[in-house]
Amino acid sequence: MTSYRNKVFKSAGVDNDQENYKKKIGYIVTHPDYEGKKLCQRLLNVFIPTVDRHNIFATTRKPSMAHILGKYGFKKSRITYNKGLDLFTYDGKK
């Protein structure tokens, strides 16, 4: 996990901060028949309060997922890398 995280942060242009983000959200995928029903938001409504004291990172290529992550306080890195992949970071509440 550490080498993967370091590679992601370096590729996204934030390689000086990766040690602060030890947790990652994996992909959240919605079947096309259920898109637009706010299922990811419902999942994150439950998930985020349970982990909001941690710094978390996530990656996505999907604009809809990027939009949802932004709603929950994730910040997009300045560099898009690896054919359209974006890094998002969440700074947990201490």
Taking only the tens place, the pLDDT of each residue in 35-92 is: 889 898 899 899 889 988 999 999 999 898 899 999 999 999 989 999 999 999 999 8
**pLDDT at residue 16 tops 70:** yes
- What confidence score (pLDDT) does residue 1 get? 63
| Arithmetic mean of pLDDT, 10-25 | 88
DSSP letter assigned to residue 70: H
Do residues 80 and 28 make contact, with C-beta atoms less than 8 angstroms apart? no
How many folded domains does the chain comprise? 1
User: What is the model's pLDDT at position 15?
Assistant: 76
**Domain with 55 in it:** 2-90
- The CATH number linked to 75 is 3.40.630.30
Contacts for 23 with CB less than 8 Å, ≥ 6 apart: 51, 54, 55, 56, 57
